[in-house]
Structures are given as C-alpha cells and as structure tokens.
C-alpha cells in the first residue's frame, strides 16, 4: 500500500512552495499596502510563539512563505518539526526584511496553525490505540487543494495515509457494489485495474457480505458502522485472511474499545475535516 506521493523532504519542500505560492497570490495580489508603510531597508527579528500545547507541524510551509518574500531571511526553529511545544513557548525565530516578514506572516501562520492542529489531533488518536495492532488512518475528507499538506500532517502526528485520491487505489463502497451487481462481480471487475492500484479495498456492512468478500478473494475489507460485538465476530471470521479496517462513527471516546476488537486499521475523517486550528502568534522584537 505505497502512496504515489513519497513525502520525502525534497518533495514536501516543493509541495510547500506550490501551496504557498497560491496562498500568497490570494493574499498579496499586486502588493501589500500596509507593509508598504514600513521602510524597505528596515530589518526585523520576529518570534512565533505557541499559545497552546501542540505538535509543531508545517515548517516547510513557513519557510516557503518567508523565503518567497525574502530569500535571504533566516529561520531558526526552537521546536523541531514533529516535536511538542508548550504554552507560551517560542517555536521559531525569523530574521530578515521587516516588510517581507509582515507580508508573509498570515500565510505562514495559517499553514502552521492548520497542520499543527492535524498533527496534534492525529497524535492524540494514535496514543489512544497504543499497544493494540490498530493503525490510525486518514481519509479523503480534506480541505480542497490542501490534501497532500494535511496527509503530511497526519504522518507527522504518527498516523497512516489512506489512498491519496481516486487515482491511486480502489475503494469499493456501497454504491459501487449496487451499481456493479454485487460483491463478487465488483471484486472480479477490480482485478482488471489491480496493476494500477496500490491496493483494492471493499466496504461491507454485514457479516454475510464479509464472508462473500473473503470468498471472492478480498485482501482488504472496510467494516462500515458495525457495533463492537459484530466487529469482534468479523475479526474471528476473517482469521487473518484480509486487512480489516473500521470506518464510520469513530470517536475518541470509543476508539480504544474499537481498537481492542483486533482490527488492523481505523480510518477517521475528523483528523482532517473537523480541525480547530492551533493558536500561534508572531511578535516583533527589537534588534
């Protein structure tokens, strides 16, 4: 189940540059009127401060935002990417053109706040299933245009990526099964695109559908909205033949109980969909 996007440091840096270029074009347009009030020769030192505990995530996007405005700016991270910060802790020092830092400020913080929130939330869910076999997995319920950034943040928080999009894997859901004429026919059809797919997964809603899917050779099955006793029985029936994933109705309060059923993966749309931004602020300091 290898994703098409490799999330190497070079690839992430290029992704961040592209995301930031769009964001700055949206924000700055043909010029920052307010930052233009500042002497262009003035240099500045700015600190980014955490206003709540979090896992710091989004560094490549912050660097891209600042450097696109001032290529000579220096950024010194007090809290590295993927590490926890505490309330009131300075996480980053920026030195460079005052105008450039002011123009880049909101774009840089927007990415840092969003991606730190995703990473922090993911880490909370990962910690809740620690000691079980279950992996915490994201979904396609991402902000339009920022899917790869959010999936990077899930990884930073210790989670696992599901498919990147519709193009890299097969996930057969209820409507696909109905349109194709049943579990067995749709799995047979899926074999024709297997060479192009990083994995083929089918969603089932009943134990009877699970047994049919296993009999048809399914290697990855999504158990949709099953209660805990049914999940335990699904794990027993499966007997290790396929990777089992839970989806639907997953909350942090129920997470440990769901993980202890013995499933392999738990996919959670809320990791990227229902996110409260982490609070950071930027403060200028005297040079």
Please tell me the distance from the alpha carbon of residue 238 to that of residue 246, in angstroms, as a whole number.
14
CB 168 within 8 Å of CB 161? no
* Residues with catalytic function: 106, 141, 173, 203, 224
Q: Give the pairing of strands 74-77 and 90-97.
A: antiparallel
Q: Which two tokens stand for residue 150?
A: 């959010």
| Residue (of 240, 246, 239) closest to 224 by Cα position | 246
CB 267 within 8 Å of CB 162? yes
CB 248 within 8 Å of CB 17? no
Residue with tokens 């005052």: 98
| Residue (of 144, 165, 100) closest to 272 by Cα position | 144
């Amino acid at each position: 189940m290898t994703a098409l996007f490799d999330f190497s440091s070079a690839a992430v840096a290029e992704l961040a540059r592209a995301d930031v270029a769009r964001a700055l074009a949206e924000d700055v347009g043909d010029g920052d009127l307010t930052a233009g009030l500042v002497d262009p020769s003035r240099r500045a030192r700015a600190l980014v401060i955490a206003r709540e505990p979090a896992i710091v995530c989004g560094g490549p996007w912050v660097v891209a935002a600042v450097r696109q405005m001032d290529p000579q700016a220096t950024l010194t991270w007090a809290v590295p990417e993927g590490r926890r910060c505490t309330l009131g802790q300075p996480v980053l020092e920026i030195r460079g053109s005052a105008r450039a830092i002011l123009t880049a400020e909101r774009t840089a913080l927007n990415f840092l706040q969003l991606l730190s929130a995703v990473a922090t939330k993911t880490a909370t869910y990962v910690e809740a299933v620690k000691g079980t076999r279950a992996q915490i997995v994201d979904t396609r319920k991402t902000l339009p245009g920022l899917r790869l950034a959010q999936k990077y943040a899930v990884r930073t928080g210790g989670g696992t990526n599901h498919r990147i999009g519709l193009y890299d894997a097969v996930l057969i859901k209820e409507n696909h099964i109905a349109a194709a004429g049943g579990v067995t026919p749709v799995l047979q059809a899926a074999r024709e695109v297997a060479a192009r797919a990083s994995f083929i997964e089918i969603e089932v809603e009943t134990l009877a559908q699970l047994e049919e899917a296993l009999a048809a050779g399914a290697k990855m099955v999504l158990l949709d909205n099953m209660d805990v006793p049914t999940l335990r029985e699904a794990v027993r029936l499966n007997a290790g033949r396929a990777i089992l994933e839970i989806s639907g109705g997953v909350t942090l309060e129920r997470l440990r109980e769901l993980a202890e059923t013995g499933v392999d993966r738990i996919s959670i749309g809320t990791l990227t969909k229902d996110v409260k931004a982490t609070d950071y602020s930027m403060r200028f300091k005297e040079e």
